[in-house]
Chain A
Amino acid sequence: MFAALGDETRLALVVKLSSGRPASIVELTADSALSRQAITKHLRVLERAGIVHSSREGRESRFAFDARAIIEARSYLDSVSAQWDRTLSRLKSFVER
C-alpha cells in the first residue's frame, strides 16, 4: 500500500478522490497531462492496494476513495511506533542506571 501511494500521479488521484465524491476516468484525466490509459493503470494499482474501489455505472467505471486502507496502515504504524517509544525508554533506563 505504501508503494501504491509513493507515486506523484497516484497521490494526486487519491487527493482528488478524497473529497468523497466518486469520479469517472474521464473526470480524473481532465486536468492531467497523462493519457486515459496511463491514468487507468494508476487507478488499478490503487484499486489493488484497496485505496480506491470501482463500480460500473452503465458503460463507465467510477472510482471512489476508501479511507480504511490508509487509516489502518497509519494506525498500525502508530501502534508499532508507540511500542518502540516504550521499549527504547526501558533501554535508556537500563544503560543509565
Chain B
Amino acid sequence: MTDRIEKHLDLNAPIDRVWRALTDHREFGQWFGVRLEGPFVPGEVSRGRVTHPGYEHVVWQARIKAIVPQTLFSFTWHPYGVDKDVDYSHETPTLVEFRLEPTAGGAGTRLHMTESGFDGVPAARRAEAFRMNEGGWTQQMKNIETHLAAAR
C-alpha cells in the first residue's frame, strides 16, 4: 500500500498563467480557499485563514520548500489539520509538490501534484478521518482484499 497521493491534470492555460496561480499568494488563496498573510518565500512559513464557510477558525500554515520558476512549487504541511485545539507542529508534515510541463505547443499545461510522507500522520488523525467518512465496513473489507492483492 502506497503512502503517497498523485494527481495529474491537464489545464487549458499556458504555463506562466498556471505558475502565477500557484505561486502568487493572492491567486493561490483564491482557488485554494485561504487568505494568506504574505508572499511565498522558500524556507519560510506561510500563514493564513481558511476561507471556506464553517472553517474560518482554521489557521492554514505551510513551510515553503522549493520555488523553481515554471517547474516546481513545493511545501510541507499538516493535512486535515482542522481542530483549533490541537497543536500539529510536533507531527511530521507531509510534502506537497506541484510540477508543471507545457503541452499543446505552449497553449496548455500538465500539472502533476504529489503528496507524500503520510506515515508521519498519527494514527489518531487517521481514525478521525475514518469516522468523518461515510462508507460501510463491508466496503472497507473489500478494499483491504483489493489492496493486499494488488500489493503482491
Residues in chain A within 8 A of chain B (CB atoms): 1-3, 5-6, 11-12, 14-15, 18, 50, 67, 69-81, 83-85, 87-88, 90-96
Contact = CB atoms under 8 A, between A and B. Distances in A.
Contacts of B121: 76
B144 A71 contact: yes
B7 A84 contact: yes
Contacts, number: 117
Main secondary structure, interface of A, reads helix
Contact of B123 (A12, A14, A72, A94): A72
B151 interface: yes
Contacts of B68: none
A87 B113 CA distance: 11
A66 to B, nearest CB: 11
Nearest to A69: B123
Given A11-B152, A91-B31, A96-B11, A79 B80 contact: yes
A72 B129 CA distance: 8
Contacts of A67: 140-141, 144
